[in-house]
Chain A
């Protein structure tokens, strides 16, 4: 299921290993590398901590708001369908426009979701604001 991160040889790799592998641009790989450990393989999140990505307005609704959560992180208590979620999501603005578009398109069309794709142009526009 999950893809392994490119830099994973503990003990041999040096800190800040960069350029070791090509940057993954398919949504599933970007999800596995950046989202899965909190939002989980099934997108269901973790009760009381990490919000689910399944059929919520945050995922299926306003694309600009969704893109900005990835760019800026999310650091507030949120209630989704009666459950509270508390954990901190870091800003993931080191991801490229293409990566963010790919991962959000993936999230909006998996875990039982069905919604329009997110394009790199939309990400670029949100980042520029």
Chain B
């Protein structure tokens, strides 16, 4: 009798445990990690908190989180000879307490899809097979997926994302500011039929599971994109979205046409929703976010007002100049309030090309979306990375947000490529 009671009272427990297991990706108050007392130094909307999941990992560019909550971080430059950091949290307190490193190359791209970890150097893309625990099985012998991509120092990072049809998208940044005859030289005019666009200044599409592809195996999916670092696949639209870094130095190069103040805020940093064959217009045009128009670049005969050709696509959204959008993430988690679902987080690394005007950025913004399109103005979501308003203005930021990733519980992870802090932002109410 006694035993029977005990057994029958056990059944709901098993059912409850099963339910917990089933709902493992839903927020569970009991499993929530505790934010740091200072919210990791970040200013966040009410109800959000943040913790430093890891610190001093190196120049942390993009990152990816496994289904089990482990983190892979790509380092811009190898640290102790290794360019990928694998972080594990043994006791589930949110603080990563085991660090392993592998991969002998620096780079930016880091993405998990279909049981593989994809990583990029500045010239190649690799992938590593993950086991059922999300651990890399072949750290010293990855498959080389793409090789031989152009790297001429400027805009050298190769950001990557994989869609749902085994396609890999790789940004190949233009090795130039505005395709001038003499790069970054005052008054130098643009090269006719900018030849850089043949092999850079766009997004290339490759197969995600075919080894040793080169340019001839890929497709120039979209062109006229000066440099993209933040990009993500929008699952609602089944479409690639990218963040372009707009051109620099309007005043330095054409002082008669642009004031120092105009040069600090123009052109816009643009979000583009891409379709195959799109041309965003670099270097021939740029986007002025206040006129809400494509404007002919001064290197190609523009005067700051002349409108650019309609053949170039319009941005889906535009943001103030030079803030360097290095991370883009569509939020699909269940932890954050409903308004964040399917909206975009953008990590603005922060400007340098606003000097002598105050620098700007160094924050993560939220761009609301409705029906797969930006809807309404962006809002600053996470600020305080720089350390102080003075450090923001001077550009001497303590931390610069770079990569974004979503954890299995819906936490938002942000990497910092100055000091190598990995932030984890949670919602607690």
User: CB < 8 Å: which of A17, A37, A90, A91 contacts B356?
Assistant: A37
Asked if A90 contacts B186 (CB within 8 A), the reply is yes
Check A8/B255 contact, CB under 8 A, given A37-B249, A37-B356, A90-B182: yes
| Residues from chain B with Cβ under 8 Å of A2 in the complex | 260, 355-356
Asked if B184 contacts A8 (CB within 8 A), the reply is no
CA distance A7 to B254 in the complex (A): 10
CA distance A105 to B395 in the complex (A): 25
Asked if B396 contacts A42 (CB within 8 A), the reply is yes
| Residues from chain B with Cβ under 8 Å of A99 in the complex | none
Q: Does B6 contact A (CB under 8 A)?
A: no
User: CB < 8 Å: which of B298, B304, B394, B395 contacts A11?
Assistant: B304
Q: Mark B72-116, 1 if CB is under 8 A from A, else 0.
A: 000011000000000000000000000000000000000000000
| Residues from chain A with Cβ under 8 Å of B177 in the complex | 88
Q: Mark B251-266, 1 if CB is under 8 A from A, else 0.
A: 1101111111010000
Asked if B355 contacts A14 (CB within 8 A), the reply is no
Asked if B352 contacts A49 (CB within 8 A), the reply is yes
CA distance A41 to B304 in the complex (A): 27
User: CB < 8 Å: which of A1, A11, A36, A73 contacts B305?
Assistant: A11
Q: Mark A7-42, 1 if CB is under 8 A from B, else 0.
A: 111110111110000000000000010001110111
Asked if B356 contacts A88 (CB within 8 A), the reply is no
CA distance A38 to B263 in the complex (A): 13
Interface of A is mostly: loop
| Residues from chain B with Cβ under 8 Å of A84 in the complex | 77
Asked if A41 contacts B355 (CB within 8 A), the reply is yes
Q: Does A119 contact B (CB under 8 A)?
A: no
Q: Does A110 contact B (CB under 8 A)?
A: no
CA distance A26 to B40 in the complex (A): 45
Nearest to B182 among chain A residues (CB) is: A90
Asked if B77 contacts A7 (CB within 8 A), the reply is no
| Residues from chain B with Cβ under 8 Å of A89 in the complex | 184
Asked if B353 contacts A37 (CB within 8 A), the reply is yes
Question: Which residues B183-240 have CB closer than 8 A to chain A?
Answer: 183-188
Asked if A41 contacts B186 (CB within 8 A), the reply is no
CA distance A41 to B396 in the complex (A): 11
Q: Does A56 contact B (CB under 8 A)?
A: no
| Residues from chain A with Cβ under 8 Å of B182 in the complex | 90-91
| Residues from chain A with Cβ under 8 Å of B396 in the complex | 42, 44
User: CB < 8 Å: which of B76, B185, B251, B353 contacts A5?
Assistant: B251
Q: Mark A37-65, 1 if CB is under 8 A from B, else 0.
A: 11011101011111000000000000000
CA distance A117 to B254 in the complex (A): 31
CA distance A36 to B249 in the complex (A): 12
Interface of B is mostly: loop
Task: Name the residue in B256, B258, B304, B395 with the highest tally of chain A Cβ atoms < 10 Å from its Cβ.
Answer: B256
Asked if B395 contacts A46 (CB within 8 A), the reply is yes
Asked if A77 contacts B355 (CB within 8 A), the reply is no
Check A90/B185 contact, CB under 8 A, given A10-B258, A37-B353: yes
Q: Does B156 contact A (CB under 8 A)?
A: yes
Nearest to A91 among chain B residues (CB) is: B185
| Residues from chain B with Cβ under 8 Å of A49 in the complex | 352
Q: Does B303 contact A (CB under 8 A)?
A: yes
Nearest to A85 among chain B residues (CB) is: B153
Q: Does A87 contact B (CB under 8 A)?
A: yes
| Residues from chain A with Cβ under 8 Å of B352 in the complex | 38, 40, 46, 49-50
Asked if B260 contacts A5 (CB within 8 A), the reply is yes
| Residues from chain A with Cβ under 8 Å of B251 in the complex | 5, 8, 37
- Distance between A129 CB and nearest chain B CB, rounded to angstroms: 21
User: CB < 8 Å: which of B255, B353, B394 contacts A7?
Assistant: B255
- Distance between B126 CB and nearest chain A CB, rounded to angstroms: 21
CA distance A40 to B262 in the complex (A): 18
- Distance between A12 CB and nearest chain B CB, rounded to angstroms: 10
Asked if A41 contacts B356 (CB within 8 A), the reply is yes
Q: Does A86 contact B (CB under 8 A)?
A: yes
| Residues from chain B with Cβ under 8 Å of A32 in the complex | 356
CA distance A128 to B283 in the complex (A): 36
CA distance A86 to B396 in the complex (A): 19
Asked if B303 contacts A8 (CB within 8 A), the reply is no
14 A/B residue pairs, CB under 8 Å, sorted by A? A7-B255, A8-B255, A10-B259, A13-B256, A15-B254, A15-B257, A15-B303, A36-B355, A37-B355, A42-B394, A44-B396, A46-B395, A89-B184, A90-B184
The 10 residue pairs across chains A and B that have the minimum distance between CB atoms: A2-B356, A90-B185, A46-B352, A86-B153, A17-B256, A13-B256, A8-B259, A88-B183, A10-B259, A7-B255
If A37-B355, A86-B154 are given as contacts, then 18 extra A-B residue pairs at C-beta distance below 8 Å, sorted by A number, are A2-B355, A2-B356, A4-B260, A10-B259, A16-B187, A17-B256, A37-B249, A37-B251, A37-B252, A37-B356, A41-B356, A41-B394, A42-B394, A44-B396, A86-B156, A87-B153, A90-B184, A90-B186
